[in-house]
């Protein structure tokens, strides 16, 4: 009976390749210090703090490593710097796997912002050469884990707006190839508010 044993070995090798790097249960325990701001189950109550539930693990890890670098990094945030410093690489993997495993919640798009927000997200702005968000973040705002593109769907509009401002001023510059800075530079304040509100209700 050589064949079955061979198949079992191949099965376990494959399983180890596709399994998550982080441990979800350990991540849940380790996330106790995040709850105050990012909320129970990764749904923050205050809209300036991002929801983390359902975000891609790889993207969360990248951000936490960037926060750890503080002023030497490309996403310097005083609050998250202090917090990220206390995390080991293993903590980062576990916590990211945990938040990625949770369900998102979707908010509402303000009627006032729907038209501009939707047209920018889905069609961009030809006149100002603003690329459509849909090209990278996808039709439902789900992003692309392998390409390092975050999920936006349902995120608080206040937080989204602030990140667009940060890309525009290059306070946040961890976007590979200036993918987001090139876009945010060309956006008006009204476009940022509108697309942020559209994203809050997008799923
Ligand atoms: C005191 C409030 C506070 C606490 C506690 C906190 N965070 Fe944050 N977190 C923030 C704020 C504010 C931001 C937005 C930073 C910015 O604007 O760049 C943020 C952003 C993040 C982001 C980036 C999300 C994205 O979509 O890019 C991650 C990941 C994150 N926090 C993880 C954690 C983890 C893990 C913990 C616990 C170990 C934690 N945070 C604890 C306030 C907090
Ligand atoms: C060419 C691809 C591309 C396009 C087009 C694009 N994005 Fe992005 N976006 C990215 C990448 C990559 C990141 C992650 C950067 C990083 O690692 O910090 C990102 C990050 C973001 C973030 C930060 C999310 C968070 O959780 O902090 C926001 C907000 C965002 N994009 C909004 C938009 C909007 C709005 C548009 C359309 C006006 C848009 N993006 C178009 C590639 C793109």
Instruction: Output the CA 32–ligand 1 centroid distance in Å.
Output: 13
Measure the N-to-C terminal CA separation of the chain; round to a whole number of Å.
50
Q: How far apart are CA 55 and CA 65, in angstroms?
A: 16
Locate 45 and state its tokens: 């109550």
Instruction: Output the CA 6–ligand 2 centroid distance in Å.
Output: 44
Checking if the pLDDT of 77 tops 80, the result is yes
Question: Is the minimum distance from the CB of 35 to ligand 1 under 6 angstroms?
Answer: no
Chain segment 150-182, per-residue pLDDT in tens: 999 999 999 999 999 999 999 999 999 999 999
Q: How far apart are CA 162 and CA 48, in angstroms?
A: 8
Instruction: Output the CA 181–ligand 2 centroid distance in Å.
Output: 9
Please give the pLDDT value at position 16. Answer: 46
Question: Is the minimum distance from the CB of 79 to ligand 1 under 6 angstroms?
Answer: yes
Nearest to 103 by CA among 138, 146, 60, 153: 153
Query: Quick one: what percent of the chain has pLDDT higher than 90?
Result: 90
């Amino acid at each position: 009976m050589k064949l079955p044993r061979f198949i079992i070995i191949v099965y376990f090798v494959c399983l180890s390749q596709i399994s998550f790097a982080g441990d979800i249960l350990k991540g849940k325990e380790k996330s106790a210090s995040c709850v105050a701001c990012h909320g129970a189950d990764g749904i923050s109550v205050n809209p300036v703090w991002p929801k983390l539930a359902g975000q891609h693990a790889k993207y969360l890890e990248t951000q936490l490593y960037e926060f750890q670098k503080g002023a030497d990094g490309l996403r310097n945030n005083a609050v998250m710097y202090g917090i990220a410093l206390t995390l080991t690489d293993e903590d980062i993997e576990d916590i990211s796997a945990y938040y990625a495993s949770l369900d998102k919640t979707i908010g509402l798009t303000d009627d006032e912002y729907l038209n501009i927000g939707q047209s920018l997200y889905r069609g961009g702005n030809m006149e100002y050469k603003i690329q459509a968000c849909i090209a990278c973040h996808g039709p439902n705002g789900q992003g692309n884990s392998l390409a390092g593109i975050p999920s936006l769907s349902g995120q608080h509009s206040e937080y989204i707006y602030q990140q667009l401002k940060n890309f525009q001023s290059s306070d946040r510059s961890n976007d590979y190839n200036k993918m987001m800075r090139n876009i945010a530079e060309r956006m008006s304040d009204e476009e940022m508010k509108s697309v942020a509100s559209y994203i809050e209700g997008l799923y």
